[in-house]
Amino acid sequence: MPAQVRTAAAKRPQTTKPTPLDGSARPGSRVAPSLGGGAPAQGRVLGPQGRQTVRRLLEAGLAEFDESGFQAVTVDDVVRRARTSHGTFYLYFASKEDLFRTLLRDSLAAMQLITDEFPVVTPNERGRAALRSWVSRFCDTYQAHATVLRVLSQADVVGEDVYGDGLQVLFQLAETITQGMTAAAPAAQDDGAASTAHAELTAVACLMMLERINYLLAVEVELPRDEMIDRLTAITYAAFHAPRA
73-126: pLDDT as tens digits = 999 999 999 999 999 999 999 999 999 999 999 999 999 999 999 999 999 999
Residue 56 has pLDDT above 50, yes or no: yes
Q: What is the mean pLDDT of residues 163-189?
A: 81
The per-residue pLDDT for range 5-40, each reduced to its tens digit, is: 333 333 334 444 555 555 444 434 456 889 999 999
Show the DSSP H helices in 83-191 as ranges: 86-92, 96-116, 125-144, 146-152, 155-158, 160-182
Q: What is the gyration radius of the CA atoms in the chain, in angstroms?
A: 20
Domains of the chain: 17-102 (1.10.10.60), 117-245 (1.10.357.10)
For the chain, the maximum distance between any two Cα atoms, rounded to a whole number of angstroms, is 68
Tell the burial category of 51 from Cβ atoms under 10 Å away from its Cβ (0-12, 13-18, 19+): middle
Nearest to 106 by CA among 161, 60, 144: 144
Residue 1 has pLDDT above 50, yes or no: no
Nearest to 227 by CA among 132, 115, 130, 146: 132
Per-residue pLDDT at 160: 74
Provide the pLDDT confidence category of residue 186 given band limits of 50, 70 and 90.
Answer: low
Residue 2 has pLDDT above 50, yes or no: no
Per-residue pLDDT at 50: 94
Per-residue pLDDT at 68: 92
Lowest mean pLDDT among 61-70, 115-124, 146-155: 146-155
Angstrom distance (rounded) from CA 142 to CA 173: 13
CB 94 within 8 A of CB 38: yes
Lowest mean pLDDT among 14-28, 71-85, 175-189, 228-242: 14-28
Per-residue pLDDT at 228: 93
* Average pLDDT of every residue of the chain: 83
Predicted structure pTM score: 0.80
φ, ψ at 38 (rounded to 5°): -90, -160
**More confident call, 172 vs 243:** 172
